[in-house]
């Protein structure tokens, strides 16, 4: 049997957690991590189309890099070092140059689903280039 005091503690904790979440959402807006719905699976062929339109100008044909953006076929961009979340955040928030001196990446207006397709496309290129083994 729980005592009245214990129930009160549980209730206060619940209220605290709920209002905490509300504050968090108001502070950061909807979908702050820019992720697609759980279970969404990227399609590399769709990703290639999105990539050509939104990323290729800087990251180059087949993600091999240009003077405006790094190649994404380097070890540092393998899943163990730049997880998929890093791609979503890069597109949503932009990136301050920290690995290269090719300037900053601006934030881009690409949906979380389309970014997930691009990630799948880039991971396939990385596997082909031997950056990591699936």
> Which residues of the chain form contacts with ligand HEC (CB under 6 A)?
54-55, 57-59, 68-70, 82, 86-87, 90-91, 95, 97-100, 102-106, 108, 110, 118
Those residues whose C-beta lies under 8 Å from the C-beta of residue 17, and which sit 6 or more positions away, are none
| Min dist. Cβ of residue 39 to ligand HEC (A) | 21
Nearer to ligand HEC, 3 or 101 (CB): 101
| Min dist. Cβ of residue 12 to ligand HEC (A) | 39
Place of tokens 């920290």: 98
Nearer to ligand HEC, 32 or 57 (CB): 57
Place of tokens 């031997």: 130
C-alpha angle with apex 117: 91 to 120, nearest 5 degrees? Answer: 100
Nearer to ligand HEC, 35 or 90 (CB): 90
| Min dist. Cβ of residue 46 to ligand HEC (A) | 13
Of 75, 88, 89, residue with least CA distance to 115: 88
| Min dist. Cβ of residue 72 to ligand HEC (A) | 6
Nearer to ligand HEC, 1 or 41 (CB): 41
CA 62 to CA 60: how far, in whole Å?
6
Of 100, 49, 51, 43, residue with least CA distance to 59: 51
């Amino acid at each position: 049997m729980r005592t009245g005091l214990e129930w009160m503690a549980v209730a206060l904790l619940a209220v605290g957690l709920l209002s905490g979440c509300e504050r968090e959402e108001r502070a950061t807006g909807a979908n702050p991590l820019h992720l697609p719905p759980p279970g969404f699976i990227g399609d590399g062929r769709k990703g290639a189309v999105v990539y050509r339109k939104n990323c290729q100008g800087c990251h180059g044909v087949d993600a091999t890099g240009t003077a405006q953006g790094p190649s994404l076929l380097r070890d540092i961009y393998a899943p163990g070092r730049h997880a998929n979340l890093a791609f979503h955040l890069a597109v949503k928030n932009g990136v301050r140059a920290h690995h290269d001196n090719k300037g900053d990446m601006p934030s881009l207006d690409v949906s979380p689903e389309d970014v997930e397709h691009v990630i799948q496309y880039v991971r396939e290129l990385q596997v082909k280039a031997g950056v990591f083994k699936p």
